[in-house]
Amino acid sequence: MSFRKNSGQMELEETIRNPGYKDAVDGGSAADASSSGTGERRDATAVKLDAAADEYTQVKPYAGMPKEVLLLHSSRARYRVPREILFWLIVCCTLALVAVTITIIALSPPCLRWWHITPVYQVYPRSFKDSDGDGVGDLKGIKEKLDHFLDLNIKAVWISPFYRSPMKDFGYDVEDFRDVDPLFGNMQDFEELLVEMHNKGLKLIMDFIPNHTSDRHRWFNLSRTRDPQYKDYYVWTDCDPAFPKPNNWVSIFGNSSWTYDEVRGQCYLHQFLKEQPDLNLRNPDVVQEIIDLISFWLEKGVDGFRMDAVKHMLEAAHLRDEPQVDPDKPPELVTTEWDLYHDYTTSQVGLHDMLREFRAVMDDYSREPGRYRFMVTESYDYEEVDKTMMYYGTPLIKESDFPFNFYLLDLPQNTSGWWAKHLVDLWMSNMPSGKWPNWVVGNHDRPRIGSSAGRIYVRAINLMLLTLPGTPTTYYGEEIGMENINITQSQVQDPAGKYNVSLSRDPQRSPMQWNSEKNAGFNTQTNNTWLPVHPSYETVNVEVQNKDEGSVLSQYRFLNGLRQSELPFLRGWFCYVLSDTNVFSYLRELDGHKEAYLMVINFGRGPSTTDLSAVKELPDELRVLMSTNTANNQKVFQKSRIQTEAGEGLVIRYSTYTRFHPNHPAQCYVSEKACYLETVGILYKC
């Protein structure tokens, strides 16, 4: 008993200081302790701060202490000061973190979108892969070959038209914009393709044709019968049935742009085939129809549109004759588009306002994070490059993300370093400040670059395509160096070729060459292909080139990987270094980034030795990272003697913090200036 008592005394000595409670423990009876008054008993359980403050001598807090005791301890310096220090430290750290975050956001250049990073790969669906053995490629065939894009590290696929169509112009004459032509599959096939593409991280860009429809479209059939709602959906005018030429306008395919319709008793305009009547886009109801069609496909989840033939969308309402290029030429001999200045049938006032309306619709669907909807416009403006640049829009009003740049299609006209630089600079020097360039070296309308420029230049052209600033576009088969096929008059499928076989676009549309088996792997079920397969398919195909590290395909894959992984190619400066009869040389560099890249490409007819000793920003010795001639990989050149063969391209990587662009501002371009902070690995505006 005494042990417990003493023990209790010890415990209370160490933990409480209430005198009344202590006396009771030291030997006083419970009654004595009680008789000391109810006030003291209350003090044993709840200390009154005002009465007990002077008596309280206990130093250490104890478990279960009342709030009042806790407040007394918490106000002591040993507890208060660390608490305040910790509080203000947290406040300062939070403010510093917010300030750093705001600074990084303010100084960071805009994020690149998916169409900045990846090349765009054009699929011509008739020729890509046939899944059902009818000899024509289809949507299921594209789905079968999606891994090909992943192998190339390509994430954006543009598919040429697959709408329901009479196929007078292979899909560019649309009978129903809301349906898939049975030749390519059905809507379920499309939806399954789209889902599978998105599952693999691929983007789908559709071809869209706003200028015209097929003459079998429901709108046209209602318009020709003067249905009150549709009578003005197309461009109609009175004309003489015996001589149906209200003016001298000429179709892209040749001859008059007007055809007399017996049902309506008027002529309708068609800037392409007579089976492709032009829509009257001055009618707001027609514009709304186009917007509804854009929304229809965006709702399905497509990632963008290539807007076809946009410069033809509006015509002058007065329908006056266009001026002749040769005023002395008899009017009856004006039969081609090259005979006229197209002052009244292309690039009319109001065109860009309409495209901005389309862009606004796409922006509405771009609000979902990661689902930006891309728009590219197609307009062949030839020497009138300023007209092409207008499709970029203005600093305040957005239009297309970029208009297609077709000037490199003219490279075969003069394979030289000077000519290559001229074509590149034609775009770069005219492009509005801050805009993003792009490059096209082949498509379904132009001969393949391997045939037009020559097989020996294919690798060099791919090298240039993938190392220039901006977005490259690759036509199917260019990644393996496919060439045009030869066709006879009886094999012609293209409407243009049926008028003149030399104008046929069939040669560049032959089936994709997948392997060395029957039909190049395009159709493995029957011996039927809509166009002949190129005889080279046994050696020029995807399967063979995948096994060869020095093939066109392997080099394409390497260059695309380099482009996407190295900051100077996506974010850096582009600078001309040299151009002469043979060589076109340029470099890519980024401020703050130690590594830079020099490209030396020989477009000439023979070997060349390039002297860059006058370029003081380059080191004296240069090591080749990659050559289109694999024997020269890792070769070291003195900068005064860089040797290349005809058709050879070099990618040279060198290390230096000395930049070229500050000393040569007139030779350099950048879309969005940025610097690299190597110590922490971040980009910032500079």
**C-alpha to C-alpha distances, 609 to 39, 407, 602, 648, nearest whole angstrom:** 108, 27, 10, 12
Burial class (CB in 10 A: 0-12, 13-18, 19+), 27: exposed
In 140-160, which positions are buried (b, 16+ CB within 10 angstroms) versus exposed (e)?
bbbbbbbebbeebbbbbbbbb
Do the strands 402-403 and 304-307 form a parallel or antiparallel pair, or are they unpaired?
A: unpaired
Pick the catalytic residue from 378, 494, 589, 648: 378
Name the residue with tokens 């209200």. 246
CA R_g for the chain: 38
Q: Rounded distance, CA 665 to CA 652, Å?
A: 22
Nearest alpha-carbon partner for 243 in 224, 267, 221, 219: 267
Active site residue 130: no
Ordered alpha helix ranges (H), 566-639: 567-571
State the CB neighbour count (10 A cutoff) for residue 513. Answer: 27
Nearest alpha-carbon partner for 110 in 434, 426, 508: 434
Nearest alpha-carbon partner for 506 in 520, 492, 519: 492
Kindly write down the DSSP assignment for every residue of 85-128, as one continuous string. Answer: HHHHHHHHHHHHHHHHHHHHHHHSPPPPPHHHHSPEEEE-HHHH
The residues, any chain, with a CB within 8 Å of residue 332's CB and separated by 6 or more, are none
Active site residue 308: yes
Nearest alpha-carbon partner for 110 in 372, 358, 355: 372
Q: Rounded distance, CA 276 to CA 286, Å?
A: 16
DSSP state of 631: G
**C-alpha to C-alpha distances, 640 to 157, 377, 617, 649, nearest whole angstrom:** 42, 43, 13, 17
The residues, any chain, with a CB within 8 Å of residue 296's CB and separated by 6 or more, are 177, 178
The counts of H helices and E strands in the chain are 23, 24
Q: Rounded distance, CA 434 to CA 398, Å?
A: 13
The residues, any chain, with a CB within 8 Å of residue 305's CB and separated by 6 or more, are 205, 206, 207, 208, 294, 297, 362, 373, 374, 375, 376
Q: Rounded distance, CA 558 to CA 247, Å?
A: 54
Pick the catalytic residue from 303, 308, 506, 589: 308
- Whether 400 and 368 have beta carbons less than 8 Å apart is answered as no
Ordered alpha helix ranges (H), 218-310: 218-224, 284-300
Instruction: State the Cα torsion 15-19-24-26 to the nearest 10°.
Output: 70
φ and ψ of 305, to 5 deg: -135, 140
Give the residue numbers marked as catalytic: 308, 378
